[in-house]
A and B are shown apart, each in its own frame.
Chain A
Amino acid sequence: MMEAIRCKDLTKIYPEVTAVDHLNLSVAQGELFALLGVNGAGKSTTVKMLATLTAPTSGDAFLNGKSIVHDRAAVKAMIALSPQETAVAPNLTVSENLALMAGVCGFSRNLAARKAEEVAKIFGLQPQLSRRAGKLSGGWQRRLSLAMALISEPEILFLDEPTLGLDVLARSELWDAIRALKGHVTVILTTHYMEEAEALSDRIGIMRSGKLLTVGTLSEIKEQTGCDKLEDAFIRIVRGGETA
């Protein structure tokens, strides 16, 4: 198994709370790993540290061998993030948003335009290319947000609550797009939706109060807790405080 992410005692302490507490985790290349947890569990802080947005208080993590503490530029060159909130430039068209992301990742103008076309095709964004991003529906904005994350061809992709607030249809369409990444892009997905983790992930990690309580495949977690549903298993683990 080629390792894409390795966290070694990754810790983030804020003045009043320990958001992530000595996290040790390994994610394989091409794996889709879901991080579950209630609000304040430390999922988003973990993603922020791995995506170099915030520095760990102690510990380190290695993305394809590069340290998030000592080699941030190399890490940034291989990752992309689709944040929890929709992150698009509202007065730019869909096509310009895609070209912007390709441009800031250093692609030439021609290559940026070609990549924008390719990604738009994958995400079915072609009919919307000339529309301003701020005028799109929530579902289309999320889809664009994901496409913007993928245009730089990242080796590791962080999806922070990618389907939050979407209707069933839009969510299902976005799931298809995420599924298509499996095997060639390493994806870390944080979500509150159990069915999302069930439908998409190869393995699942459950966090509470900054600690990783358990890690395993869906069937392993169900077996470990004796529950048929992930939701029941999640509640049992979080309430019981089982540790990995």
Chain B
Amino acid sequence: MRRLSAFCARVAKEILRDPLTLAFGLGFPVVLMLLLSAIQSNIPVELFEIAHLTPGIATFGLSFLTLFSSLLIAKDRKSALLQRLYTTPMTARDFILGYTLPMLPIAILQTVVCYLLALILGLSPTPYLLFALVAAIPNAWFYISLGLLFGSALNDKQVGGVCGTLLTNLSAWLSGTWFDLELVGGAFRKIAYALPFVHAVEWARAAQIGAWSAALPHLWWVLGYSLAVTCGAVVLFLRQMRRI
């Protein structure tokens, strides 16, 4: 337990001290919310109403956790720090949990910041908003495990391209946050609903108003993807441990 807590503390410090975390993890979602709310106040669009927008932006913000997590793991591998740590009594379980657990409080913090801003921007305070924080946990699990997967498989430059550009774009375009997927329809809509991004947003939207029967089908999608990605991530992490 002491080994795991020492490693968790290290991971948290590395991430929180990286200016990238503040800029993208907190700054970017805040700027987006302010910008889209300004558009909404001038040209009202249902999609950008604050109650509809906030779960989408909060979930989109979580996609940066994949970038932070994968970048840290890839850099650790490159710098030989992991090589050193692999010779200590730390187990594979310690490493996997150590890279995962510190990201959860960061995810909750991101969500809290988004909802505090939303309240300032006019979101009605209801007790159900606390469920929005709960909803962030499975979504965060998906994005964090994706970080472990990419960090184990790619180098730090590849991670920047895949997680910093490709994933954040996929996460935005296929989430139904920026435009209504029903309006596009066809294959695009089918692909979007076969992936977890829109389900993560729909789950957060439904949880925010306590609509559990509407929320659950989306939750299963998110949990299913999270489980599959976690299994893949563990396999890849163990493989790179053996490949030193």
Contacts and interface: CB of A to CB of B under 8 A. Distances in A.
B118 to A, nearest CB: 31
A92 B14 contact: yes
Contacts of A23: none
Interface stretch (A2-10, A28-36, A79-87, A224-232): A79-87
A20 interface: no
A100 B89 contact: no
A87 B6 contact: no
B150 interface: no
Please tell me the size bucket of the interface on B: 20 to 34
Please tell me the size bucket of the interface on A: 35 or more
B88 A76 contact: yes
A82 B5 CA distance: 23
Given A53-B83, A85-B79, A86-B80, A107 B2 contact: yes
Interface in A12-42: none
B244 A92 contact: no
B80 A103 contact: no
Contact of A149 (B18, B84, B94): B84
Contact of B87 (A52, A96, A103, A107): A52
B7 interface: yes
Interface in B5-25: 5-7, 9-10, 13-14, 17-18
A82 B87 CA distance: 10
B93 to A, nearest CB: 13
B3 to A, nearest CB: 5
A102 B5 CA distance: 12
B86 interface: yes
Contacts of B83: 53, 81, 83, 87
A142 to B, nearest CB: 12
Contacts of A80: 87-88
A4 to B, nearest CB: 16
A106 B80 CA distance: 21
A87 B84 contact: yes
Contacts of B86: 52-53
A101 B79 contact: no
B6 A99 contact: yes
Contacts of B6: 99-100, 102-104, 112
Contact of A105 (B3, B13, B81, B242): B3
B74 to A, nearest CB: 13
Leading 10 A-B pairs by shortest Cβ distance: A103-B6, A85-B80, A87-B80, A83-B80, A87-B84, A91-B17, A81-B87, A53-B244, A87-B81, A91-B14
